[in-house]
């Protein structure tokens, strides 16, 4: 009988220890790191709707949102911003870090390109704004303008790319562009994680 009690007590202690190490401590660790960076603003309602459009159109398959450490990739030189930190993603659930970089990193696109007109024209036909761009076009985010009302945002395209009729942006396009404009983590942060500086610095584009 005493032996059985000993075995049960030992099993209970092992179970408690395992729960502490595997469940409670990791959860405390992740919670203590989830504070938003100072300077990070929550997304506006419109941007949150735009974020859902970004997800539904699969932008994340070609665009990352995680500028990397200079020891890993020259993202700073490419103009994509400082290496991101966990607090930059406090309002991103789920995060859209991405793993492919067919196009540029977009975590700071709002700071690089704040123009609504530019984004709309680029979404309608990327080639109209960036010659030779391989990004797909999203013409279904626009519709033919019947009568212009005050709230309509007209698409402005270079003459050579004009479809011959006037187009306005659908709500999804405007929400998406607002989301892109709110992607801005250019505030400074106190702790930027650094990697071992003796590691060879990457000089070429890495997907």
Interaction pattern, residues 162-181, with ligand HEC; x per rule: CB under 6 A:
--------------x---x-
Considering the rule CB under 6 A, would residue 153 count as an interface residue with ligand HEC?
Answer: no
Length of the chain, in residues: 207
Q: Which of 48, 91, 113, 117 binds ligand HEC (CB under 6 A)?
A: 113
Q: Which of 46, 85, 133, 145 binds ligand HEC (CB under 6 A)?
A: 133
User: How far is 100 from 107, CA to CA, in rounded Å?
Assistant: 14
Q: What are the DSSP calls for 81-107, one per residue? A: -SPP-GGGGTT-SS----S--SS---T
Dig out the tokens for 163 from the structure: 């479809």
Minimum CB separation of residue 151 from ligand HEC in Å reads: 22
Stretch that binds ligand HEC, among 8-16, 17-25, 55-63, 193-201 (CB under 6 A): 55-63
Backbone angles phi, psi at 60, to 5 degrees: -65, -20
Note whether 173 and 48 are within 8 A (CB). Answer: no
Interaction pattern, residues 3-42, with ligand HEC; x per rule: CB under 6 A:
----------------------------------------
Minimum CB separation of residue 100 from ligand HEC in Å reads: 8
User: How far is 42 from 18, CA to CA, in rounded Å?
Assistant: 37
Considering the rule CB under 6 A, would residue 104 count as an interface residue with ligand HEC?
Answer: yes
Minimum CB separation of residue 58 from ligand HEC in Å reads: 6
70 HSE (CA, 13 A, CB side):
9
| Exposure class string for 1-20: b at 16+ Cβ within 10 A, else e | eeeeeeeeeeeeeeeeeeee
Minimum CB separation of residue 59 from ligand HEC in Å reads: 3
Binding site for ligand HEC (CB under 6 A): 54, 57-59, 61-63, 102-104, 109, 112-113, 126, 130, 133-136, 138, 176, 180
């Amino acid at each position: 009988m005493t032996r059985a009690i000993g075995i049960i007590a030992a099993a209970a202690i092992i179970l408690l220890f395992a729960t502490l190490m595997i469940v409670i401590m990791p959860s405390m660790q992740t919670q203590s790191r989830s504070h938003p960076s100072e300077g990070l603003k929550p997304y506006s309602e419109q941007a949150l709707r735009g974020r859902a459009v970004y997800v539904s159109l699969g932008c994340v398959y070609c665009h990352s949102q995680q500028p990397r450490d200079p020891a890993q990739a020259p993202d700073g030189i490419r103009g994509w911003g400082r290496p991101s930190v966990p607090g930059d993603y406090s309002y991103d659930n789920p995060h859209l870090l991405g793993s492919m970089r067919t196009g540029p990193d977009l975590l700071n696109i709002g700071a690089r390109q704040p123009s609504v007109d530019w984004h709309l024209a680029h979404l309608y036909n990327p080639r109209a704004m960036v010659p030779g761009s391989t990004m797909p076009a999203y013409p279904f985010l626009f519709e033919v303008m019947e009568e212009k009302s005050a709230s309509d945002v007209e698409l402005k395209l270079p003459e050579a790319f004009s479809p011959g009729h006037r187009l306005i942006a659908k709500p999804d396009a405007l929400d998406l562009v607002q989301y892109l404009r709110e992607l801005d983590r250019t505030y400074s942060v106190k702790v930027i994680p650094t990697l071992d500086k003796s590691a060879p610095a990457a000089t070429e584009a890495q997907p």
